[in-house]
């Protein structure tokens, strides 16, 4: 595989592009949208179907902040100073006029809000009801989805005892960008995510009309994600179960139509494979580390001999160095961050176990793992005590959901429950750590956003 070696030469170029590209495209996009105002349901449907502006921009800096990968000293030294500061969690602030997750994610929120604003002027009737409902439901889903991503990146982990005081995000509820942005509380922000997602359920079809469109199943999966990050395991169980009632397909790693040739191939999984409930991609524009870095050795060493995920997900570069290659985006260049059935099985399993239904949780784990191990080698998990089962499901979650964009929030929520996960980077002879619940777990807002709006900085 050559692409990873090429990426070793690119970090400084990528970071320079990140610094120079600025927010211009976001502002231009808004101006263009205002200049040609969509006026028909077909126009609004086209906005909801445009993945480049609304669904292919999942944030990447939370993934770059977490412990799924590491850089060698040479890799680290190839980055500019600002990127090095970010990697080591020190003195990092997104520079003024730089492209960033905040701008691109609110770009998507803008289009969702524009759709919701414009559809009010189009009467719903017997002829257009299905399309009208799908468009409005999609816009509500996308706003909810992107608000949640922003919360995971820029806010503290949800804590019911402090959520009414902790800073959340800017709840942009209209496309009128003359209305000033202010930061809501964490409580208000999470409630808006939930309200939007729940409102979308009755409007969306059970299954997506096209592969990358929202659906009722996707809304259930989004709510499961949201409640899991809030440590509301009862509701996360309810919605992960509702999601799996609609779609529960799993890829058999022993041989499946959704595997491209061989698990050892680059990008071995088809895009929009049978596990995909909602398709979304990580914003590669800002993924400045994870394509270059190696997968952390605690993960690579955790796969059992007959666990086929090691072959499917990892490329052995020698000297115990592995790259990640197993994205559900169908390409080793793009990280899939959408909602998939494997994630829902793991969420439901964890919630079953946490709510005392250990056998049901292990049954879900067995269902998933039986499709991941070489045929005839998997021994079902049985008879575990609750804490042992919980430790097991959390390890499987980490091994299964590599580079899906979920690890950062998992660290945050688990540390709120006392997991004491300390992140560590080693560069040369220096060691850097990020302690549980440290301030950096709410990543810094872009400097220009703070200056323009007066919103409090993290």
For the cut 50, the answer to whether the pLDDT of residue 22 exceeds it is: no
For the cut 60, the answer to whether the pLDDT of residue 408 exceeds it is: yes
Which of 78-92, 207-221, 280-294 is modeled with the greatest confidence?
A: 207-221
C-alpha to C-alpha distance for 254 and 267, rounded to whole angstroms: 16
C-alpha to C-alpha distance for 325 and 267, rounded to whole angstroms: 6
**Can you tell me whether residue 383 is helix, strand or coil?**
coil
pLDDT at 11: 39
CA dihedral 449, 80, 22, 69 (to 10 degrees): -80
For the cut 60, the answer to whether the pLDDT of residue 8 exceeds it is: no
For the cut 60, the answer to whether the pLDDT of residue 13 exceeds it is: no
Dihedral sign (CA 288, 289, 292, 295): negative
Torsion region of 94: left, alpha or beta (phi above 0 gives left; psi -120 to 50 gives alpha): beta
Domain harbouring 394, CATH code: 1.25.40.390
pLDDT at 34: 45
pLDDT digits (tens, 9 = 90+) for 91-124: 777 777 777 899 999 999 999 999 999 999 999 9
| Residue range 5-17: mean pLDDT, rounded | 39
pLDDT digits (tens, 9 = 90+) for 355-370: 999 999 999 999 999 9
pLDDT at 25: 37
**Can you tell me whether residue 277 is helix, strand or coil?**
strand
Does this model's pTM top 0.75?
Answer: yes
Number of structural domains the chain divides into: 1
pLDDT at 287: 61
pLDDT at 272: 96
Q: Which of these ranges, 30-34, 156-160, 254-258, 351-355, has the smallest mean pLDDT?
A: 30-34
Q: How confident is the model at residue 56 (pLDDT cuts 50, 70, 90)?
A: confident
Instruction: Return mean pLDDT, the chain.
Output: 90
Alpha carbons within 13 A on the beta-carbon side of 54: 26
| Residue range 311-327: mean pLDDT, rounded | 94
Q: Considering the domain boundaries, does residue 36 fall inside one? A: yes
For the cut 50, the answer to whether the pLDDT of residue 28 exceeds it is: no
pLDDT at 16: 34
User: Interior CA angle at 325 toward 323 and 326, to 5°?
Assistant: 135
Q: How confident is the model at residue 32 (pLDDT cuts 50, 70, 90)?
A: very low
pLDDT digits (tens, 9 = 90+) for 158-199: 999 999 999 999 999 999 989 999 999 999 999 999 999 999
pLDDT at 285: 63
Q: Considering the domain boundaries, does residue 458 fall inside one? A: no
pLDDT at 210: 81
CA–chain centroid gap for 207, Å, is 21
C-alpha to C-alpha distance for 447 and 430, rounded to whole angstroms: 28
Q: Considering the domain boundaries, does residue 27 fall inside one? A: yes
pLDDT digits (tens, 9 = 90+) for 142-161: 999 999 999 999 999 999 99
| Residue range 433-457: mean pLDDT, rounded | 94
pLDDT at 51: 87
For the cut 90, the answer to whether the pLDDT of residue 52 exceeds it is: no
> In angstroms, what CA-CA distances link 408 with 302, 340, 385, 398, 423?
19, 18, 27, 11, 11
In the numeric block, which tokens belong to residue 224? 């499961």
> Residue 365 CB: number of other CB atoms within 10 A?
25
- Domain residue limits at 50: 3-453
Q: Considering the domain boundaries, does residue 241 fall inside one? A: yes
Q: How confident is the model at residue 288 (pLDDT cuts 50, 70, 90)?
A: low
C-alpha to C-alpha distance for 258 and 5, rounded to whole angstroms: 27
């Amino acid at each position: 595989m050559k692409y990873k070696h090429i990426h070793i030469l690119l970090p400084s170029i990528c970071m320079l592009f990140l610094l120079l590209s600025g927010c211009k495209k976001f502002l231009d996009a808004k101006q263009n949208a205002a200049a040609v105002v969509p006026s028909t349901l077909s126009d609004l449907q086209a906005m909801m179907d445009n993945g480049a502006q609304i669904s292919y921009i999942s944030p990447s800096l939370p993934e770059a902040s977490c412990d799924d990968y590491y850089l060698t000293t040479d890799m680290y030294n190839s980055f500019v100073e600002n990127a090095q500061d970010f990697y080591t969690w020190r003195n990092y602030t997104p520079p003024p006029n730089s492209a960033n997750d905040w701008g691109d994610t609110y770009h998507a929120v803008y289009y969702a809000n524009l759709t919701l604003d414009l559809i009010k002027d189009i009467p719903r009737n017997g002829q257009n009801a299905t399309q009208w409902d799908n468009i409005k439901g999609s816009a509500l889903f996308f706003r909810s989805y992107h608000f949640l991503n922003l919360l995971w990146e820029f806010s503290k982990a949800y804590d019911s005892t402090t959520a009414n005081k902790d800073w959340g995000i800017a709840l942009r509820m209209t496309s009128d960008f003359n209305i000033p942005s202010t930061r809501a509380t964490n409580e208000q922000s999470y409630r808006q995510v939930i309200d939007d997602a729940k409102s979308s359920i009755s409007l969306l079809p059970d299954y997506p009309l096209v592969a990358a469109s929202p659906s009722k199943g996707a809304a259930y999966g989004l709510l499961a994600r949201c409640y899991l990050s809030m440590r509301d395991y009862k509701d996360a169980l309810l919605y992960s179960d509702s999601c799996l009632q609609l779609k529960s397909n799993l890829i058999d790693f022993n041989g499946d139509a959704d595997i491209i040739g061989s698990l050892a191939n680059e990008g071995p999984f088809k895009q929009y494979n049978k596990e995909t409930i909602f398709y979304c991609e990580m914003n590669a524009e800002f993924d400045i580390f994870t394509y270059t870095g190696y997968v952390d050795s605690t993960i690579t060493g955790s796969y059992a001999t007959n666990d086929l995920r090691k072959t499917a997900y990892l490329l052995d570069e020698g000297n115990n160095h592995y790259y990640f290659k197993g994205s559900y985006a169908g390409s080793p260049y793009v990280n899939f961050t959408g909602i998939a059935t494997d994630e829902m099985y793991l969420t439901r399993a964890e919630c079953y176990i946490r709510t005392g239904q250990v056998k049901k949780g292990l049954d879900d784990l067995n269902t998933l793992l039986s499709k991941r191990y070489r045929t005839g080698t998997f021994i079902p998990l049985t008879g575990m005590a609750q804490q042992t089962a919980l430790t097991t499901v959390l390890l499987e979650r980490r091994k299964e959901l590599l580079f899906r964009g979920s690890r950062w929030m998992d660290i945050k929520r688990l540390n709120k429950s006392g997991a004491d996960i300390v992140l560590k980077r080693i560069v040369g002879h220096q060691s850097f750590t990020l302690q549980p619940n440290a301030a950096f777990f709410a990543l810094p807002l872009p400097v220009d956003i703070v200056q323009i709006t007066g919103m409090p900085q993290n």
